[in-house]
Chains A and B, each alone.
Chain A
Amino acid sequence: MIIIATLTLTKLFVNLLSTGASVSAQSQPDRLATYEKRGDVRIYAGGRLRSITQEGAPGTFVFVLVDVTRAQITLLRSWAGLPVQVRDNRSRIFQGVYYRVNEIERRNEPTLYDVPIELDVITFVEAV
């Protein structure tokens, strides 16, 4: 008998790829994933319009963790610039790096913060 387990995440998880250590928290809706091809339409002599793009499409994943503790923020700050994996409740997985950790005070919650993060997606090949 084969048992297939389905894991449904109710939070957004940020894992440091080198150790697996995680920070999890609820996230605000309207998380934004973007993939943008680098290129442009150029004008050549005679009026020809031609598109030239670069291989690959750099991506970003922008999200806001809510009700984050100071201990979690300390951890997130220590991971800035290191490869992390982000999983959300839609089963989307992003490997990437972030460089900035903002902390926004929660009103009437003196120990909690909201933390917006912009993740730059990287190509990550897992060891086999």
Chain B
Amino acid sequence: MQPPYDPPRDTLAAGLVEGLIRDAAAVEVGFGCELTDLTFAVTEDISADVLGGSVAHNSYDTLHGSAQLSVTRDLPFGYAVLCPYLTLYDGTTRARFNLGAYFTDTPSRPLAEVPVTYNVTCYDLLTALDNNIGDAFSLPAGTNYLSAVEDILIGNGYHQYLIDRASTAVLPVARAWPFDDSSTWLLVVNDLLASIGYQGIWTDWAGRLRVQPYSSPRVRSAEWTYDVEPATSLLSTERDEWHDYFKAPNSWVFVRSNQIDGAQPVDGNGIYRYDNTRTGVTSQEARHRTIVRKVMVDAADQPSLEAAAQITIDADTAVPVKITMKTAPNPLHWHFDILHLQDAARGPETNVLGTAWTLPLDGSDMSHEWTVLPI
């Protein structure tokens, strides 16, 4: 989630942002939009020309963020970067929540309307990275993974990014990506990050690209609590839950595909095995059988193999219980949020992983998809 007191809310006193989102008995929702470039220098505030729309985020999509905006003016659609935002006001405190930065499509122009209204589809800034490389690409042994990622970002025109430099790993052997339809810069970046146990690259609420180590949802702390208390409930009465785990594996074999010197991988050196014997409804104990999944991983070393394996294990075990939910507008939501859910209607309180959300800019309730995390 967005930290509650990240700019532009950094001047607000502690508790005010949570109060606006959760506690205010009556709240007014506003929205706006800025036209910027890739440095996020604001060219123009076009709020007066934006009729409305919505912002959405799906953490499992290749391009996570998207937006739909109705705009009553012409824009440089070929390169415009739009930064929508939402405001909340309770009569005393007003807070602004930036909702990312997006490229636009080239919408059709209805000729019958004056002034014209463009229904603009906006795409995550990762779009510029999702381009085909146009050639084969290779990196020599000894290249620092994160330096290679940074070079790719700069080479693709990005100015604003945050890279967590926790890893100093270098490529143990040369690595190449062939010249084919699927070879995009985004694929290369995510391959490199997976090799050192980092999560896939994503863009944040300010439009910056984020590169950081993967942290299992099961060990992360909850960032927001949703409950059904009379003074704080934000959960809609419309909420559904379903279980979908027929094919979920409960035993994994991860094999390092870039073993140096062609040595045969063995357990602990090129192979990592993991069995979910007792955790959750997909466990071997719960299913009364073992469902094996084998995964080939390009990893820098054995710890990186195990870190990358954990990402897959978490994703596979996260499948079982999903919740679709509507809540009052909470513009702090972002990428793979950890939420604490206290809702007696669905059972004991638990942590859930936010995997997708859509936030209408007109103040309508927002929709979510959550996955219950195994206890």
A binding-site residues for B, Cβ under 8 Å: 39, 42-48, 50-56, 123
Also in contact, A46 and B233, with CB within 8 A (given A39-B363, A54-B363): yes
* B26: A residues at CB distance < 8 A: 50-53
* A46: B residues at CB distance < 8 A: 227-230, 233, 235
* A45: B residues at CB distance < 8 A: 228, 233, 235-237, 239, 343, 345
* B363: A residues at CB distance < 8 A: 39, 52-54
With both beta carbons as reference points, the residue of chain B lying nearest to A56 in the complex is identified as: B30
Q: How large is the interface on B (under 10, 10 to 19, 20 to 34, 35 or more residues)?
A: 20 to 34
Measured in the bound complex, the distance between the Cα atoms of B24 and A55 in whole Å is: 16
* A52: B residues at CB distance < 8 A: 26-29, 328-329, 363
B binding-site residues for A, Cβ under 8 Å: 24-31, 48, 87, 89, 227-237, 239, 328-329, 343, 345, 362-363, 365
Q: Which of B27, B343, B345, B363 counts the most A-chain CB atoms under 10 A from its CB?
A: B363
* B28: A residues at CB distance < 8 A: 39, 52-55
Also in contact, A44 and B30, with CB within 8 A (given A50-B25, A50-B328): no
* B233: A residues at CB distance < 8 A: 44-48
- Chain A to chain B contacts (Cβ below 8 Å), 13 pairs: A39-B363, A44-B237, A45-B228, A45-B237, A45-B343, A46-B227, A46-B233, A50-B328, A51-B26, A53-B29, A54-B28, A54-B363, A56-B30
Q: Which of B87, B231, B233, B345 counts the most A-chain CB atoms under 10 A from its CB?
A: B233
Also in contact, A55 and B234, with CB within 8 A (given A39-B363, A45-B239): no
* B328: A residues at CB distance < 8 A: 42, 44, 50, 52
* B343: A residues at CB distance < 8 A: 45
Measured in the bound complex, the distance between the Cα atoms of B28 and A42 in whole Å is: 13
7 nearest CB pairs, A to B? A55-B30, A46-B228, A51-B26, A45-B235, A48-B233, A46-B233, A45-B228
With both beta carbons as reference points, the residue of chain A lying nearest to B114 in the complex is identified as: A81
Q: Which of A39, A42, A45, A48 counts the most B-chain CB atoms under 10 A from its CB?
A: A45
With both beta carbons as reference points, the residue of chain B lying nearest to A53 in the complex is identified as: B28
